[in-house]
Amino acid sequence: MGKMSKAKGARGEREFAEVIREASGGVFDAHRGRQYCGGPNSPDIICTMPLHWEVKRTETCATWKFWQQAEADAGIEKEPAVAWKKNGGIWLAFCRAHHLIALHAEIFRLRKLLKEATTKTE
């Protein structure tokens, strides 16, 4: 990998860490990891989310290749996830479908409980 490519990747990792911090309203802390060998002890993003982020800043998205790397590096404690952005584009993220669906189901359940609790106190 060339020097320019490494620098672009590092910028992308710092940029995506900022996306996590901003989008979560500060709930999740995130910063660029120290890459040296890959694996669960060397993530692209060190984050309090239960996700192992593989961050890619490329013009083309090699979806399966990126996913395989995230899955191989995630270990057993975190779910793999990929964040990808091309020049001039927006950040896109992908994870296991069941993980995304379960997350939204939990949000739906919590909103329902909150609405019920609010209705009872009125």
Structural domain boundaries in the chain: 3-95
Ordered per-residue pLDDT tens for the chain, 122 residues: 788 888 888 899 999 999 999 999 999 999 998 765 555 567 899 999 989 999 999 999 999 999 999 999 998 889 999 999 999 999 999 999 999 999 999 999 999 999 988 887 76
Q: Residue 9's pLDDT is what? A: 87
Which CATH architecture is the domain 3-95 placed in? 3-Layer(aba) Sandwich (3.40)
Q: Tell me the backbone φ, ψ of residue 37, rounded to 5 degrees.
A: -150, 0
Whether the model clears a pTM of 0.95, i.e. scores above it, the answer is: no
Looking at residue 43, its pLDDT comes to: 83
Beta-sheet pairing, 79-85 with 45-47: unpaired
The C-alpha angle 2, 93, 33, rounded to 5 degrees, equals 50
